[in-house]
Structure 1
Amino acid sequence: MRKNLSKLLSLCLMVILMLLAVAACGPAEGSEGSEGNGTDATDTAAPTQTGPGVRTDGKADQVGLILEGAISDMSWNSDAHRGLEKIGALGAEINYTENTGVSEAPDAIRAFAESGYNIIFLSSSSFQDVTKESAKLYPEIMFFVINATADEENVRSVQVQDFEQGFLMGALSALLSETNTVGFVGGFQFEPMIKGGQAFTVGAEYVNPDCKTIVEFTGDNNDVRGAKELAKAMVQQGADCLGTMAGPAALGVVEASEEEGVFSLPPGQNMNSVGPTSAVAPVMKDTSIAYEAVYKMFKAGELPESGFIIMGASKGVVYIGDFYIDIDPEVERQIKEIEASLAAGDIVIDLE
């Protein structure tokens, strides 16, 4: 009997010791994953997206924009600024610098970095080299450069399809022309603008193989007078519709068309203010859409692992805006059909 009682006591003692050991291995009261704070361990897991520009401190994104020109230009810089405002509407803290020269860009980048900005957009390929150098100093910041060719861990290039804008300008110019001669005035002569001029000719010939195109460049996006003089010279050569991709200088082309009584196709909204009877419709390259789309892609972790981020008609960036004046309904129908085909990828623009 005593032996049985002794065995029973020993067994009970072993069970008690085992229970105490199990309890000691469990989470302490109030620790993560316990019932003490009602928080499941998965609720406090680290964000799945990591890398340059990704905030892990719970604060809102701080997004900076560095512009070569002024936000009042009714064109490239104005559109970029509207894109930044769209990003701000998504909850980011935003700020910008305008009229920033390439030599001033490193200081602008440094100012943003020291203020805690985690994403910086630069509006032009002119900033590519200084961005690549600055990016080495700030590996935690994500940089996006418009129309550049950089492709690095924290520097990505957003390539806006300028040539698609030129193509649509050429196509609509040829549809409107009665003289079979149309003109294109470009601004600063660099690759995107050059391709825009080439595509203008391709677009005109797409709808009318016999259409003659005159393509010239001012060499300066701010040379309104020079653009106006080129436009008037084209009219003297028989051009009765003028397309332009020249930044603020495009206003000179629209003014010339109004004075000479020919059509014009401005590259941005509101330029019809200087050509109320001659400006037909804006052929838009709305980069504000591109800025917003790129930011959304970044936030969703959907940026391509490498390569350029392409923004054109298929993304709604390049399109024909509302018509300012009444034109032949058949012309409007045809250009809308061409625009839709371009956006769908059914038209391949060969610039070779």
Structure 2
Amino acid sequence: MKRIYLFFAVCLLPIFLIGCTQQKTTQAEDSISAGLLVTESGLGDDSFSDSAFRGLEQARDELGITFDYREPFDQNYEEQMKELIQQEHDVIIGLGYNALPTVESLASEFPEQAFVLIDAVSEKENVTSITFKEDEGSYLIGLIAGMKTKSGVVGFIGGEEIPVVQRFEEGFKQGVEKANPDAEVLVTYANTFDDDQKGADITKEMVDQGADYVFPAAGFTGVGALKEAEVQNIYAFGVDSDQFFVAEESVVSSMLKNVNVALYDVMEQLTGDQALSGEHITLGVEQNGVGLAPIRLINLTEEQQKTIDQAQNQ
């Protein structure tokens, strides 16, 4: 009798496994999916692309979504994004101002496809644009730099001179001026987000001019600036993500640009059966779109901390 039971159990096991496999496939097919085109710096930038990727990873782990991604190292945005569209994702996400022309073109070519554009604004009805109040977060960084500089000279390093980076610059300069009207702010644009050596070279030049704090908003170029700040024994601020671990003896804080939070919210909306509206969403301190990473390496006085807290609350 035991042999008969064993025979039936063995016979039924493949059927059970097939049933489980079919169920798993159906669940995967039913899940919301996203296609992500990161910046031309690719993953591993310790900044913008990595933040976006983390947001989708969190959505995968907590919401059950699936996603794929492409890295346009050769600036072949359209080719890479078309590959994602052909996979029939529920939403296609383009990162950065440089993705705007491709998103606009393909949004017209594929009017039924939903797109999300980060850091630029499209008027296309099937494109939801998400931008950030970089000036709010950079203002906080500027306050710290203005309050703590000993030389009275600080530096801002931009990637490409485009509106989003100019907002970083403006906020930083306003914060420095508020805290220390006599301080000088050096400004240099690298005209690239992908050259860490250029970031290092600009940092050296600023140190030669007396800068003791630098704030790069320049992608992978900025990573070079942070590492060189450590070599030059000055302080620096990270951007987009908490970049303390890029240069642990130099990075005081980072201006968090929570692309991860924005994309998690997008996927949460889609998994809740809420369609994207094609609107323009702007996220600041109040919406947890921007903020400060923990302040390390330096000590703020009680009055200086109060200044930072008041600025955040305003």
Normalised by the shorter chain, which TM-score bucket? 0.7 to 0.9
Measured in 2, the distance between the counterparts of 1:80 and 1:290 equals 8
Q: Tell which deviates more after alignment, 206-215 or 251-260.
A: 251-260
Q: Which structure 1 segments of 5+ residues have no match? A: 1-57, 347-352
Give the structure 2 partner of residue 27 of structure 1: none
Partner of 1:54: none
Match among 212, 234, 253 for residue 240 of structure 1: 212
5 Å-filtered alignment, 1:262-277, equals 262-269=234-241, 271-277=243-249
1:94 maps to what in 2? 67
Q: CA deviation at 1:153?
A: 2.0
After the TM superposition, which residues 222-261 of structure 1 pair with which residues of structure 2 at under 5 Å, given as runs? 222-261=194-233
Q: Return the match for 1:67 from 21, 38, 49.
A: 38
Aligned-partner Cα distance in 1 for 2:276–2:111: 19
CA distance in 2, matches of 1:252, 1:138: 39
Change (3 A) 1:158 1:313: same
- The partner residue of 2:55 within 83, 88, 98 is 83
In percent, how many aligned pairs have the same letter? 21
**What does residue 314 of structure 1 align with?**
286
Change (3 A) 1:203 1:302: farther
2:161 maps to which of 164, 189, 200: 189
Task: Please tell me the residue identity of whatever aligns with 1:112.
Answer: L
- Return 294-303 or 78-87, whichever deviates more: 294-303
Tell me which structure has the larger Cα radius of gyration.
1
Q: Among residues 296, 311, 327, which one is paired with 2:299 in the alignment?
A: 327
Q: How big is the shift at 1:264?
A: 1.0
1:249 and 1:162 map into 2 onto residues whose CA distance is 18
**1:170-210 deviations in Å (ceiling 9; x for gaps):** 11111111222211111122111122112211111122222
Aligned-residue CA RMSD (Å):
2.5
- The AA in structure 1 aligned to 2:72 is N
**Kept after mapping to 1: 8 A contact 2:42/2:71:** yes
Number of residue pairs aligned between Structure 1 and Structure 2: 285
The answer as to whether partners of 2:94 and 2:117 remain within 8 angstroms in 1 is yes
Greater mean alpha carbon deviation, residues 263-272 or residues 174-183: 263-272
The 1:300–1:222 alpha-carbon spacing in structure 2 relative to 1, beyond 3 Å, is: same
**Native 8 Å contact 2:257 2:289 kept in 1:** yes
User: 1:85 and 1:209, CA in 2 relative to 1: closer, same or farther beyond 3 A?
Assistant: same
Which residue of 2 is the match for residue 29 of structure 1? none
Structure 1 residue 315: deviation in Å?
A: 1.8
**CA deviation map 1:300-327 (0-9, x unaligned):** 5778856411122222121111233242
Point out where structure 2 has 5 or more consecutive residues left out of the alignment: 1-28
Q: Which has the higher contact order (CA 8 A, sep 6+)?
A: 2
SS of the residue aligned with 1:239? coil
2:68 is aligned with 1:110: no
TM-score by length of 1: 0.73
Is 1:135 matched up with 2:107? yes
Q: For residues 57-112 of structure 1, what are the alpha-carbon distances to aligned partners after superposition, in whole Å with 9 as ceiling and x for unaligned?
A: x821121101123111100111111122123231211111113555x333333322
Counterpart amino acid of 1:67?
V
Deviates more, 1:251-260 or 1:143-152: 251-260
Secondary structure of 1:235's match? helix
- Which of the two has greater strand per residue? 2
Query: Following the alignment from structure 2 to structure 1, what is the Cα–Cα distance between the partners of residues 240 and 121?
Result: 25
Taking structure 1 as reference, are residues 226 and 175 closer, same or farther at Cα in structure 2, changes over 3 Å only?
same
CA deviations 1:138-187 (Å, max 9, x no partner) are 22221011112213221121112222232222111111112222111111
Do the aligned residues in 2 keep the contact of 1:176 with 1:331 (CA within 8 Å)?
no
Q: 2:126·2:278 contact (CA, 8 Å) conserved in 1?
A: no
Task: Select between 253-262 and 60-69 the one with higher mean Cα deviation.
Answer: 253-262
Alignment-mate amino acid for residue 113 of structure 1: I
Q: Counterparts of 1:273 and 1:306 in 2: how far apart (Å)? A: 37
